[in-house]
Structure 1
Amino acid sequence: MATKQQREGRQEMTRIYIVEDNADLLENGILCLKAQGFDCYGASDAQSLNTLISEQLPDLVVLDWMLPDESGLDIAQKLRNNDQTNKIGIIFLTARSNITDRIAGLEFADAYHIKPIDYQELGAIINSINRRSATISPDKTAKSTWQLHSTTLALHSPAGEVLSLSHREFILLRELAQSSNAPVSAKQIIEAWGESWLHYEKNRLELSLSRLRRKIKNISDDSLNPVRAIRNQGYHLMIPIQVHD
C-alpha cells in the first residue's frame, strides 16, 4: 500500500480529467481515482472538458466514447492534432469492445479499458503511462530498451522475454525503430514489405498492427499502446527499440 507521502507526490504529478455523461459513474470514478492519490476532476461533455483544459492542462484524460455533444473519438483526435494538447495521455473507458472500435480508439489513445471498470486496473494503467511519459535517466533508458534482432527475427523485452516475429512484423518494427521521432507512413511500411502501395488494402495493415500490439503487450508489464497511429501522418513507436544485425 502506498504511503501518504507517496500518494501526495503522485497527486501533485498526475492531474486527470474524466469525461463521462453518466453522473453516477463520473462521481464514482473521481472518488476512486482520488482515493488512489490522483488529482482528479470531472467533465460531462466536450465543452466542460475544454473549459477545464483552458484553465490548466492535465497529464491525462479518461474518455467515454458516447458523449452528448461530441464523441470521445473526435475529442481524442482533436487533442492529438493540437500542439498544446498532443502530449496529454488518453485512456478510452467504454463499453464498446469490438475490434474495429479498439483499432480506431488506439489510433489516438494510449490505452483502451472496457467497462465494467476495475479502478485498481485503471490506476495501474495510469501509473504505467506516467512511467513511460516521465523524464528518465540514461541508465534507466538503457535498462528499459527493447532489443530487435535481425538474424533471429526476435524481439527481446527489457525483462528478458523473447517474442518471435514474422518477417513482416520484424520489418515493421525496424522501420519504426529507425525513424527517430518522425512518424512512419503506411506507404513506407507497405513498400518496405516489397508490396505495391496502390494495390494494398489499409485494413490489412491495421490488422497486422493490432496483432503485433497484442503480442508485444503479452510479454510486457506495461499497458501502454506500443505503436500509436497518428491520423494522416502514420505510426509512431511508443517503446524504445534498438536494432541489432
Structure 2
Amino acid sequence: MSSKTILIVDDEPAIRDMISTALDVAGYDCLQAENAQQAHGIIIDEQPDLVLLDWMMPGTSGIELIRRLQRDELTNTVPVILLTAKATEDNMVQGLESGADDYITKPFSPRALIARIKAVLRRSEAELPQDPIQVDQLLFDPISHRVTISDHAVVMGPTEFRLLSFFLTHQERVYSRDQILDHVWGGNVYMDERTVDVHIRRLRKAISLEGHDRFIQTVRGAGYRFSTKVVEE
C-alpha cells in the first residue's frame, strides 16, 4: 500500500521540519508550504491526502485558506487538521466551523499528532454506501462524492459528508453525541462532544436549501436523529 502524502503549512521552518521528521518516521510522505498561497498551489497540483495547517500566518490565515478550499469542488474533500496556539473553546468552535476536520493546540507531541492524523485518514477512507440515497429533493451520491438538492450542488467538507452519510443510513433513530463520535470519528481518539454540535450546525447550514435541514432533529437530553417525520412541538 502506498504511503499517504501530508502537506505541512506553517510559516515557521523549525515547526515544519519537526513535524516532517516525525511524519517521515511514521511512514508518511511530506510536502511543505510556508504560506497559504503556496499551500493552495500545492493542494491543486499534488492533491495531498491531508493538510496540517497553521491558523496564524502572515497574509492569508489558515482559516481563510480553509474557506477557499471549501468553495472549490476540486479541493473541498481534502481533510484539514488545524494547528494553533489558540486554546479556548471559542477558538476551537471557530476553527471547526470554518471547515477544519480536527483541531490541535500547540504545543503538541508528535505521538498525539500522528494519532489524530490516523483518525482523520481512517474517517476519509471508511466505507460509504455504494448506492445513491434520496430523501425528498436531497440526493446523496457516494460514488461521485456529490450532494444535490433539486439538482443544485451542495458544498460541504469531508466530515459533513460522512456525517450526512451516517444519518442517511441510520434514519429514524436517536444517537447520542458519544455514539455519533464513535460512528463518524472513530472510538480510538478523544474528541470533545462540542465537535459534534459544530459539525451538525455546518451540515444543517449546507443542506438548508428548501428546508432540508429540518430532517436533522435535536432530541433534547438525548442527541440527534435524522427523520422525515414532522416533529410535534
TM-fit CA distance, 1:220: 3.1
Aligned partners of 1:111 and 1:223 also within 8 Å: no
What residue is the counterpart of 1:126 in the other structure?
Answer: 117
SS in 1 for 2:187: coil
What residue is the counterpart of 2:24 in the other structure?
Answer: 34
Choose which of 56, 61, 70 in structure 1 pairs with 2:51.
61
Query: Are 2:220 and 1:220 equivalent residues in the alignment?
Result: no
1:165-220 deviation digits (Å, cap 9, x = unpaired): xxxxxxxxxx9688639xxxxxxxxxxxxxxxxxxxxxxxxxxxxxx579947993
Aligned partners of 2:3 and 2:27 also within 8 Å: no
Distance across 2 between alignment mates of 1:219 and 1:51 = 31
Query: Are 2:12 and 1:22 equivalent residues in the alignment?
Result: yes
Choose which of 62, 75, 87 in structure 1 pairs with 2:77.
87
> Which one is further off, 214-223 or 87-96?
214-223
Give the counterpart letter for 1:72 in structure 2.
G
SS in 2 for 1:30: helix
Q: Structure 2 unaligned runs (5+)?
A: 130-162, 170-176, 217-223, 228-233
TM-fit CA distance, 1:127: 0.9
Distance across 2 between alignment mates of 1:60 and 1:24 = 20
Structure 1 stretches of 4+ moved >6 Å: 175-178, 241-244
Aligned partners of 1:128 and 1:223 also within 8 Å: no
RMSD across aligned positions (CA): 3.7
Distance across 2 between alignment mates of 1:121 and 1:33 = 12
Change (3 A) 1:45 1:219: closer
Aligned partners of 1:19 and 1:42 also within 8 Å: yes
TM-fit CA distance, 1:232: 5.1
SS in 2 for 1:123: helix
What residue is the counterpart of 1:180 in the other structure?
Answer: 168
Change (3 A) 1:242 1:28: same
Distance across 2 between alignment mates of 1:93 and 1:213 = 24
Q: Structure 1 unaligned runs (5+)?
A: 1-8, 139-174, 182-211
What residue is the counterpart of 2:144 in the other structure?
Answer: none
Matches within 5 A, 1:145-224: 180=168, 212=177, 216=181, 220-222=187-189
Distance across 1 between alignment mates of 2:127 and 2:74 = 22
Distance across 1 between alignment mates of 2:120 and 2:190 = 8
**% identical aligned pairs:** 29
TM-fit CA distance, 1:32: 1.0
Give the counterpart letter for 2:168 in structure 1.
S
Distance across 1 between alignment mates of 2:69 and 2:128 = 28
The size of the alignment, in residue pairs, is 166
What residue is the counterpart of 2:87 in the other structure?
Answer: 97
TM-score, length basis structure 1: 0.57
1:26-56 deviation digits (Å, cap 9, x = unpaired): 1111111111111111111011102212321
Distance across 1 between alignment mates of 2:107 and 2:179 = 21
What residue is the counterpart of 2:219 in the other structure?
Answer: none
Distance across 2 between alignment mates of 1:137 and 1:83 = 19
